[in-house]
Every structure is written in C-alpha cells, then in structure tokens.
Structure 1
Amino acid sequence: MSEFRAIIQLGDPILRQQATWVDNTQDEHIQQLIDDLTATVAKANGVGIAAPQVAASYRLFIVASRPNLRYPNAPVMEPTAMINPRIIAHSPEIVKGWEGCLSVPGIRGLVPRYQAVEVAYTDRNGKLQKQKLTDFVARIFQHEYDHLDGVVFIDRVENSFDMISEDEYQKTVFNHT
C-alpha cells in the first residue's frame, strides 16, 4: 500500500547531497518508494518528484505530467519511475520556462533548460529504457535529474528578476485574480 511521504524543504542537507545509485531495482524498499513517490506527487499537485525530496537519497524519480492546480496546461502522461537516469544527448536549443518545486514552496523561477533530451533509465521492472523527451516533459526530467545531484531550480535561475512568488505567478501566467 502506498503512503504520502513528507516532502523535505530547502535547507534540509539531503537536498544538497549526491544521491546513491540504485543497485537492485527489485528491492522491496525501492518498489515501495516508487509507490510512495507516485502517491506523494499526486497528492501534492506536482508533475515530478525525486527520492531525495522525501529524504530518500536514491537516484530515482517520478515524472508524472498531468494538468493540476500548479500546472493547469501540463500534458497528460502515465506516472513513470526513472531509476539511475542519465541524459545521453540533448538539443542545442535552450529555452526558459517557469518552474516551481515542492521542496521550495511559494516561489517560481524562469529556468533555462534544453528543449529536448534523450534519456536512458531503468524502469521499475528492471528494464533499460531510452526515450526522447521534449518541451514540458523534458523540463520535468531535467528538474528532477538535478535533484539527484543536489541542485535545486533556484540555482539555475540567471538573475533575481527571474523569480516571483507563487501567487504572482498564478495571477500573471494564468490571469487568476
């Protein structure tokens, strides 16, 4: 049975650590972590979550794009566990886009990312997968991948004028009043 796990916040040293390689994808603890991360990202209205964000320092994250309160225009995809992921190629194009983070609540930043990435990862069944991701899903992957190396999105914001509060973001970008 999956459980919602507490999401650690910026300042917790685990968020700044290099995550540990997963040796056995079929380990009961890893399989439970995948289920818990999937439940946690859904309940928290996220589109991705990395294991370090729930104080589990493993090279594992979930990409779970879907429209929600925080990302109303997100494309729909099945939540996908990506274990020991890596970027094997990327587009030359870099685009800026707004990002937030469940571990950095209340702030959004305009972050430059590759427009497309080719990635490899092990799925929850232990099979090697390769995919080309573009646009918003590529952004999610790169954001979560950073968490595995102790990097948070605010580290990639080019200047402080590219950061706004979540409330301003919602009003400005989605014209909510």
Structure 2
Amino acid sequence: MITMKNIILEGNPTLRTPAEEITFPIGEDIQTMGQEMLEFLKNSQDAELAEKYQLRAGVGLAAPQLDVGKKMIAVHIPNVDDETNEPLLSTVMINPKIVSHSVQSACLAEGEGCLSVNRDVPGYVPRHTRVTVTYLDLDGEKQKIRLKDYPAIVIQHEIDHTNGIMFYDHINNEDPFHLDENVSILS
C-alpha cells in the first residue's frame, strides 16, 4: 500500500528528470504499481482512511512522484456523474500523451497543489481548457479520451510530472496572479 512516505518531495532529482516510456508487455511490478497508485488516490479521498493512514488528499499521482522514472499516471476524480453514480474519471494511464489541445486556457481559482510539494505556492497555473489524450491502459489497450476544464487540468498536471515539470513552473514569476485575456478562471 502506498502512503505519504512513498511520495518523494520537491528537490528530489527524479521529479525534474523526464520519465521513460513503458514497453509492453508490462511486468507484474508495473501492473501492481498502477493499481496501488489508483488505490492510494481513492484512499486519500476517503476521510476515514486518509486520517487512519495520514494521507493528503489527491486526485492524481505520477510514477516519478514515487521515485520511479516511468511514464505512468493514475487519476481519480470523484465528481460523480449523477446518472451513473460513477467517478468522473478513474484510471491508470501508461505513456499518456496530449495529442491535441484547445487554444483557450483555464486555471483553478484556488491555484494548484501537489502531493510532492509541502508548501502553499500562490498563483494561477494556466493550462489548456481542453485536451485529447492517448494512452495505454494496464491491459495494453490503446485509449483516447477528450477532457475539458478540471479533468483536463488534472491530466496536464500529471503528464507534466512525467516530463520533469512542476506545476509552479507555469506560474508567472513577476506577477503570480497575472493572466492573459484568453485564460478563464474555474471555481
């Protein structure tokens, strides 16, 4: 089971090193790690389990945050679809790649946080409003997904981790709350 002690913090060189693509067939180690990453996110969002295991809540986790330089991310966005009662997005993505994106950008009103950053970093993090992502699932099946708004921001944050980029790299150094006119703020 992954806990906070498994997550490396900013300053660790793995977080700044572009990760390697994963080749198929994948080994049991990659399969297990993907499942455990998703389990961590679900546990971190469960108030009882989060308190019991002292987990910080997260909606995404990338393999480099576990000190593993591989292109794999897990996301669990709980905003439940009212009709199906399913999570908005809950999956493991291997070798995720943004293949297209919108010209429009958006950012979260409260900024972004990260399980690998134990400090508040104020400022807007502009990202594409819409993205199309291709990836392989844990069975090696090709997937393509279109995301917008919050899920698109989460995916971009996690894919950045596989490229050695931290969220605060996107914040304007001179004016952290400056936004270009084509950026909308999501509350």
Fold shared per TM-score above 0.5: yes
Identify the residue that residue 60 of structure 2 maps to in structure 1. Answer: 48
1:85 alignment counterpart: 96
1:76 aligns with 2:87: yes
Determine the C-alpha separation between the residues in 2 that align with 1:142 and 1:104: 17
Query: Counterpart in 1 of 2:10?
Result: 10
Query: How many Å apart are 1:159 and its aligned residue?
Result: 2.9
Larger strand percent? 1
Residues of 1 paired with 2:165 and 2:67: CA distance? 15
Deviates more, 1:112-121 or 1:97-106: 97-106
Q: Of 149, 153, 156, which residue of structure 1 is paired with 2:170?
A: 156
- The 3 A distance-change label for structure 1 pair 112 and 78 is closer
Deviates more, 1:40-49 or 1:83-92: 40-49
Distance 1:15 1:25 in 2: 25
User: 2:157, 2:66 → 1: CA distance?
Assistant: 16
Q: Distance in 1 between matches of 2:174 and 2:9?
A: 20
Give the structure-2-normalised TM-score: 0.77
Task: Give 1:71's aligned residue.
Answer: none
Distance between the aligned counterparts of 1:130 and 1:45, measured in 2? 27
Shift of 1:32: 0.8
Could you say if the C-alpha distance between residues 46 and 129 of structure 1 is closer, same or farther in structure 2, counting changes exceeding 3 Å?
Answer: same
**1:146 is paired with a residue of what secondary structure?**
helix
1:79 Cα deviation from its structure 2 partner = 2.0
Query: Residue 105 of structure 1: CA displacement?
Result: 2.0
Query: 3-state SS of the aligned residue for 2:10?
Result: coil
Which letter does structure 2 place at the counterpart of 1:87?
Answer: I
1:104 aligned to 2:102? no
Aligned residues with identical type, % of pairs = 35
Match of residue 94 from structure 1: 105
The answer to whether the Cα contact below 8 Å between 1:25 and 1:124 also exists between their aligned partners in 2 is: no
1:63 paired with 2:81, answer no
Contact 1:25–1:83 (8 Å) recurs in 2: no
Between the aligned partners of 2:172 and 2:107, the Cα distance in structure 1 is 10
1:62-87 deviation line (CA, Å, top 9, x unaligned): 111126xxxxxxx9334210100111
In the alignment, what sits opposite 1:29? 29
Q: Counterpart of 1:118?
A: 132
Aligned position for 2:83: none
Deviates more, 1:39-48 or 1:84-93: 39-48
Work out the number of aligned pairs and report it. 155
Q: Which amino acid aligns with 2:11?
A: G
Deviation digits for residues 69-125 of structure 1 (CA, Å, limit 9, x no counterpart): xxxxxx933421010011111011011222110001232442000000011000111
CA distance in 1, matches of 2:118, 2:131: 27
Q: Alpha carbon RMSD of aligned pairs, Å?
A: 2.0
